Homo-oligomer: A and B are copies of this chain.
């Protein structure tokens, strides 16, 4: 190439089109060839306080460019491992089509995107949008083998129905628990007052949830929490950014003080990815209008990049987490 675009760019983070991690954009969802496929789900009509998570996918994509320069993967000196080398194929599917004022159609479009990724044998990685987008994500696995859901969140999100609302951002874990293909839930980071009343907690426990607060999770340690998940079972990870302390994740609709710090979550994800096939990921509730420093979007991108690194490193070294027969 005479202009040297492909071969020789320095490609600083602030340059270029913002796909996730500057990975290729695949507009034709029938033509996905990848190990992981990123899908934006910019729906935020399910929120109960501050909106704006519709701009979550854009902000996370932009922040991801900070972690995307260099040409030979990301070297971590603590682990002495280079993650996400050229053998890991990641694509960006763009966003599901959102229909304002219509929750059902918007959710259906998100489901179609996740189904397309699954059909292509790619790990679906969905960036919300509010936590209600988890509902169509889980629904897209209908007909697939069962899995366990690991929710990392400040809120239990286990409301059954209020004023007729069943697909808002307070409902997804209840909807997940109802699915035959969800074998159980571990809900970590749950704290403080919440939209879920006492009955919701009782229902969750009856339906088999393991509920841990931030302080309880810290007392167990990341390895201890990971050990509570059923051994070797495939895991779907849903990460609400408000699980984190507002000090590092202020940019979200319903922040809650007392949340996780960075290594709390990173080490839990690393432990889970090492010992479980990860069959789906969503990261939700990043609302850039409340993130004037960019800290929240950077956190989301940094966590996603590290989690993907761990998932595909587990495959390369074998072991429980590397079992990708699911796809």
B48 to A45, Cβ gap below 8 A? no
Chain B residues with CB below 8 A from A116, complex form: 3
Q: Mark A41-69, 1 if CB is under 8 A from B, else 0.
A: 01011111111101100100110001101
> Please, which residues of chain B bring their CB within 8 A of the CB of A298?
246, 255, 257
Q: How far, in Å, is A256 (CB) from chain B's closest CB? A: 8
Least distance between A114 CB and chain B CB atoms (Å): 11
What's the least CB distance linking A34 to chain B, in Å? 16
Asked, given contacts A3-B112, A5-B27, A6-B27, whether A16 binds B95 with beta carbons under 8 Å apart, the answer is: yes
Complex Cα distance A45/B51, Å?
A: 9
Which of the segments A99-107, A178-186, A228-236, A278-286 contacts the partner chain? A99-107
A55 CB to closest chain B CB (Å) equals: 6
With A190-B77, A193-B74 as contacts: A255 and B55 at CB distance below 8 Å: no
Do B197 and A70 touch (CB < 8 A)? yes
A144 at the interface (CB under 8 A from B): no
In the complex, the chain B residue whose C-beta lies closest to that of A99 is B163
**Nearest chain B CB to A52's CB is how many angstroms away?**
6
A276 in the interface (beta carbon within 8 A): no
- Assess whether A3 is in contact with B29, with CB atoms less than 8 Å apart: yes
Chain A, interface size category, equals: 35 or more
A14 to B67, alpha carbons, bound, how many Å? 23
Interface presence of A305 (CB below 8 A): yes
> Which listed residue (B190, B245, B266) contacts A258, Cβ 8 A?
B266
Residue on B with the closest CB to A11? B97
Nearest CB of B to A195, in Å = 7
Which residues of the partner chain B approach A247 to less than 8 Å between Cβ atoms? Answer: 245, 247-248, 295
For A170, give the chain B residue with the smallest CB separation.
B100
Nearest-CB residue, chain B, relative to A194: B75
Is B100 within 8 A of A45, CB to CB? yes
Alpha-carbon distance A19/B163, docked complex (angstroms): 24
- Write the A119-154 contact mask toward B (1 if CB under 8 angstroms, else 0): 000000000000010000000000000000000000
Contact A16 B94 (CB under 8 A): yes
A52-B18 Cα distance, complex, nearest whole Å: 17
State how many angstroms separate the Cβ of A189 from the closest Cβ of chain B: 12
- Pairwise interchain contact A101-B293, C-beta atoms closer than 8 A: no
Q: Which residues of B contact A61 (CB under 8 A)?
A: 17
A266 to B100, CA, bound (A): 32
A86 at the interface (CB under 8 A from B): no
Q: Are A248 and B251 in contact (CB under 8 A)?
A: no
| Complex: A132 Cα to B299 Cα, angstroms | 25
Given contacts A48-B100, A102-B163, A105-B163, 9 further A-B contacts (CB under 8 A): A10-B97, A14-B54, A15-B42, A17-B95, A45-B100, A77-B190, A82-B198, A245-B248, A246-B248
